[in-house]
């Protein structure tokens, strides 16, 4: 561990990172294509060695949660997504059900990097209030803390009073769990002080107001963005300016419903490639919205940053009895390549009287572009839509907006 960092990877020159990650990506793609059923069946015929940059990965297919669920239903338990002969240490279950393997490395989910950024060291006793049952969060944080040399209190969920007693009795100095449960613990503790001084929270929004309230109780809390499929994706640092992307993943921001990257600063869906052989997901679409931030973090870490969790990308609405999805929006784009700006499908009106409007961001639309867009929408969705051209649309990643009152 270097001063304030888990390792020197966090401060390497960007061009060095890009070269090393490209080499790792080429090697991983070769392994996936030759040593996994998914690679042999879905990625066959593609030349990973020909990639000239990490950005070239954008031409490869996106893997979605529904794809994993389907593969796993046909080929238990892991759908041919692990390498041949791979034997996970543990297998977890998420809603779907989706099964996620845990590797045998000391920190297979790479959460130690986020703990170090939150100030956790080997001297800490960590109160782990994430669930240990079926879902991987508890194991994620425990393995990370143990890899740093910490002592762990495996508290899990529920039994607040017993957790309070335990954290007092053993003198826990760091907390990992959801921010809402940290608040519950502090409120239940009342005037009797706890020894907690550090926290890494995840799984929920962590607004600045709650961070400041936690600080009044003597705890400096940071957040991280992790999923049951990908492990750590990005983490907060002392700079408090966005979330620095983990060194063990590649992150793309793509237009919802597609695999096409959007410019830095634009909101889109988070797509992650895990650069490890434990569970080598290639271009996994998380369903979460975020945006890349320009520049580097003032904390000295040189990797790219995310703005944080900005909502869900798997958008849909029911219009006149038919569902429209984000993938439909992308299909219309492909049929009308003149659409280069943002596009938003808006549903308004009262029950049984839907108004369906397709808004296209453009300065000067061509004469018959509106007719072409309307025709493409009808071909893709079987629905008639009004087309409006507007000079700008919000940069929030939303491509389908349902403005009807909830029923």
User: Model confidence over 393-403: pLDDT tens digits?
Assistant: 999 999 999 99
pLDDT, tens only, 241-263? 999 999 999 999 999 999 999 99
Using only C-alpha atoms, what is the Rg of the chain? Answer: 23
pLDDT-derived band of residue 211, with 50, 70 and 90 as boundaries?
very high
Q: d(Cα 185, Cα 128) in Å, to the nearest integer?
A: 12
DSSP line for 109-164: T-THHHHHHTT--TT-EEEE-S--SSSSHHHHHHHHHHHTT-EEEE--SS-HHHHH
Q: How would residue 2 be classed by pLDDT, with cut points 50, 70 and 90?
A: low
Residue 150 CA: distances (Å) to CA of 146, 173, 222, 248, 339: 5, 10, 18, 22, 53
Residue 81: φ, ψ to 5°? -90, -15
CA-wise closest residue to 352 among 302, 318, 399, 385? 318
Among residues 294, 323, 324, 318, the alpha carbon closest in space to that of 306 is found at: 294
Task: Give whole-number Cα distances, 303 to 111, 145, 233, in Å.
Answer: 16, 23, 12
For residue 406, pLDDT beyond 80: no
Q: Which two tokens stand for residue 56?
A: 């070239």
Rounded to whole angstroms, how far apart are CA atoms 238 and 299? 6
CA distance 232 to 269: 16
Q: What's residue 95's pLDDT?
A: 87
DSSP string, 10-47: GGS-HHHHHHHHHHHHHHHHHHHHHH-HHHHHHSTT--
Considering the entire predicted model, what is its pTM? 0.91
**Helix/strand number for the chain, H first, E second:** 10, 21
Q: How far apart are CA 203 and CA 179, in angstroms?
A: 8
Edge-to-edge order in the sheet of strand 231-236:
151-154, 125-128, 174-177, 198-201, 220-227, 231-236, 243-245, 305-306, 292-293
pLDDT of residue 367: 73
Average pLDDT over residues 217-231: 97
Q: CB within 8 A of 91, min separation 6: which ones?
A: 77, 78, 99, 100, 101, 102
Q: Percent of the chain, pLDDT > 90?
A: 90
- Joined together, the tokens standing for residue 348 give 């308004």
pLDDT band at residue 213 using 50, 70 and 90 as cut-offs: very high
- pLDDT tens across 338-382, in order? 999 999 999 998 766 899 999 999 877 767 899 999 999 999 999
3-state SS class at 84: coil
Provide the terminal-to-terminal Cα distance of the chain, rounded to the nearest Å. 55
Residue 72: its H or E element: helix 65-74
DSSP 169-238: HHT--EEEE-HHHHHHHHHHHTTS-----EEEE-SS---HHHHHHHHTTT-EEEEEEEETTTEEEEEE-T
Q: How far apart are CA 81 and CA 78, in angstroms?
A: 6
Measured in residues, the chain has a length of 407
Kindly report, residue by residue over 264-288, the tens digit of the pLDDT: 999 999 999 999 999 999 999 999 9
Give me the residues paired with residue 200 across strands.
176, 222
Instruction: Give mean pLDDT, residues 99-125.
Output: 97
């Amino acid at each position: 561990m270097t001063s304030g960092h888990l390792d020197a990877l966090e401060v390497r020159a960007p061009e060095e990172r890009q070269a090393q990650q490209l080499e790792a990506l080429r090697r991983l793609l070769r392994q996936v294509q030759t040593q996994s059923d998914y690679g042999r069946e879905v990625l066959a015929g593609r030349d990973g060695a020909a990639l000239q940059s990490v950005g070239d990965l954008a031409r490869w297919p996106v893997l979605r949660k529904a794809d994993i669920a389907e593969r796993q239903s046909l080929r238990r338990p892991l759908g041919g997504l692990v390498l041949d002969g791979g034997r996970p240490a543990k297998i977890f279950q998420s809603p779907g059900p989706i099964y996620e393997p845990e590797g045998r490395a000391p920190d297979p989910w790479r959460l130690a990097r986020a703990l170090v950024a939150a100030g956790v060291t080997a001297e800490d006793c960590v109160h782990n209030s994430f669930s240990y049952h079926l879902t991987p969060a508890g194991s994620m944080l425990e393995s990370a803390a143990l890899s740093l040399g910490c002592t762990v209190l495996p508290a899990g969920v529920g039994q607040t009073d017993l957790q309070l007693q335990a954290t007092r009795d053993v003198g826990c100095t760091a907390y990992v769990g959801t921010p809402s449960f940290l608040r519950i613990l502090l409120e239940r503790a009342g005037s009797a002080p706890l020894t907690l001084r550090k926290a890494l929270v995840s799984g929920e929004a962590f607004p600045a107001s709650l961070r400041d309230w936690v600080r009044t109780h003597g705890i400096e809390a940071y957040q991280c963005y992790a999923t049951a499929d990908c492990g750590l994706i990005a983490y907060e640092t002392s700079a408090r300016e966005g979330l620095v992307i983990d060194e063990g993943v590649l992150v793309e921001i793509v237009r919802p419903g597609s695999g096409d990257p959007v410019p830095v600063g634009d909101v889109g869906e988070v797509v992650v490639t895990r650069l490890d052989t434990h569970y080598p997901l290639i271009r996994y679409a998380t369903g979460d919205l975020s945006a890349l931030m320009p520049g580097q973090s003032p904390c000295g870490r040189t990797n790219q940053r995310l703005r944080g969790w900005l909502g869900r990308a798997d958008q849909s609405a029911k219009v006149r009895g038919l569902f429209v999805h984000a993938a439909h929006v992308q299909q219309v784009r492909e049929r009308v390549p003149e659409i280069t700006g943002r596009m938003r499908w808006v549903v308004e009106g009262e029950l049984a009287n839907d108004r369906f409007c397709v808004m296209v961001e453009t300065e000067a639309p061509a004469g018959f572009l509106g007719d072409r867009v309307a025709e493409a929408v009808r071909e893709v969705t079987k629905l008639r839509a009004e087309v409006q051209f507007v000079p700008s649309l919000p940069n929030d990643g939303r491509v389908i907006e349902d403005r009807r009152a909830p029923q």
